[in-house]
Amino acid sequence: MGKIFYLMGKSSSGKDTIYKELLQRFPKMKRIVLYTTRPRREGERDGVEYFFTDEEKLQQFRNQGQLIEERSYHTQYGVWSYFTADDGQINLRQEEYLVIGTLESYRAMKEYFGAESLVPLYIEVEDGLRLTRALEREKRQSQPRYDELCRRFLADSKDFSEENLRAAGIEKDFRMWIWRSASKPLKGKLGGVTSYKIVVY
């Protein structure tokens, strides 16, 4: 049986960068692309970062019993939904997968596929560094949404609290990888342990 390596962390923790590096290091891994109803950011491509869709498609998956997990956020610009669908992307009998998600979606995926099928990869970054990254990224947008940035930043503290991490089975004493930069790739190998922690500095 294959595994789903589930990459997660607070906003601006470097998930996309680490995700791309892992796919380069482990080219046999398949991607799982999630769905979202939020507007596409500049530079994002449909079917790459997300499948950008609407509430009608979400309801269709829900009605057909194909919805694995879903989350909705009341943002400064309306309700944005993110979800994973059983749409034929995942075949654990033959493949291993890498996906980016949240702690909430990780728990739902673990319930759907079974704890033995998922390996959490949790990224931990100092808050000051995350905020600096987030501000720089937002400045590059044609219409910066600083109010939404602040909402996400504050929500992360609650969503990724130590209590919630423990409840999801992500403990402090699991194996650590050190991520320095794209030119100095991750140390270690995937497999053989139940979870990983990636510290960015």
Per-residue pLDDT of 80-116, as tens digits, reads 999 999 999 999 999 999 998 889 899 999 999 999 9
Per-residue pLDDT of 128-187, as tens digits, reads 888 898 899 889 988 898 998 898 888 888 999 989 988 888 875 554 555 444 334 444
Per-residue pLDDT of 12-68, as tens digits, reads 888 888 888 889 888 899 999 999 999 998 889 999 889 999 999 999 999 999 999
Residue 4 CA to residue 188 CA, distance in Å, equals 18
Report which secondary-structure segment, H or E, holds 112: helix 103-113
pLDDT confidence of residue 129: 87
Residue 57 CA to residue 51 CA, distance in Å, equals 11
Rg (Cα) of the chain, in Å, rounded?
A: 17
| Number of C-beta neighbours around residue 35 at 10 A | 20
Strand, coil or helix: 140 = coil
pLDDT confidence of residue 74: 85
CATH 3.40.50 fits 1-28+113-201, yes or no: yes
Residue 174 CA to residue 188 CA, distance in Å, equals 13
Those residues whose C-beta lies under 8 Å from the C-beta of residue 157, and which sit 6 or more positions away, are: none
Domain ranges in the chain are 1-28+113-201
pTM over 0.75: yes
Query: Which of 1, 2, 22, 7 minimizes the C-alpha distance to 195?
Result: 7
